[in-house]
Amino acid sequence: MKLNDRGLLVVISGPSGVGKGTVRKALFDMKGHNLTYSVSMTTRQMREGERDGVDYYFVSKEDFQQKIKDGKLLEYAEFVGNYYGTPLDKVNEQLDNGNEVVLEIEVEGAQQVKQKMPDCVMIFIVPPGKEALYERLKSRGTESEEVIQKRINKANREFKKAHLYDYIVVNDEVSNAADRIMAIIRAEHAKTERSIHKYMELIGENED
């Protein structure tokens, strides 16, 4: 029985190179959920293998700035020289339809979301150790040495923001990390403050 009409907004962050994208894909591959992924908008260049409208909406800096002006973004931030942001309309539409919406965003944007939608669930993914992170960033082979260094510096600053999140999930194994996130989502749904109103309505009782 479903006790929530509106979906949960799930914000996932973590330092660059922690494997957020891989964990998110494993999460979406799990059965029996109604998760939808919010495709972000970015001004960064498309990487090999990425698809416009699937991984990101790739736009020009001018277009991005126009979206900001028009109030079309739930949040946005600059990350290592590029803009990234979450289109607002789709998020609200999915939540109203009762679907969970997953945002995979960096920490500044996550804080903006928390302010605007305080009932969101904030999850921070961490690596089992810092070395794993640096190795991943270097072996990805998609960025120049300079960009890698900037991302490592950024990751070190991002680590310090973990305390702003509701949950910390260690990505020791991708499937374990995805399992943990699914457990968090299920537990959040069962929280009294999220479900009591609907339950009382169902049994025809008023809350005192």
> Footprint of ligand 5GP on this chain (CB under 6 A)?
16, 20, 40, 44, 75, 77, 79, 84-86, 104-106, 109
Cα 173–Cα 174–Cα 180 angle in degrees, nearest 5: 90
Which CB, 136 or 198, lies closer to ligand 5GP?
136
The least CB distance from residue 186 to ligand 5GP, in Å, is: 23
Cα–Cα distance list, 156 to 14, 17, 130, 173, 203 (Å)? 11, 11, 9, 21, 50
Least distance from ligand 5GP to the Cβ atom of residue 174, Å: 16
Listed residue (186, 205, 187, 189) closest to 197, CA to CA: 205
> How many CA atoms lie within 13 Å of 46's alpha carbon, on the beta-carbon side?
13
Measured at CB, which residue is nearest to ligand 5GP?
109
Question: Of 4 and 55, which has the nearer Cβ to ligand 5GP?
Answer: 55
CB neighbourhood size of 19 (10 A):
18
Question: Least separation, in Å, of the C-beta of 62 and ligand 5GP?
Answer: 18
Cβ closer to ligand 5GP: 138 or 194?
Answer: 138
Helix, strand, or coil here: 97?
coil
For ligand 5GP, the closer CB: 79 or 165 = 79
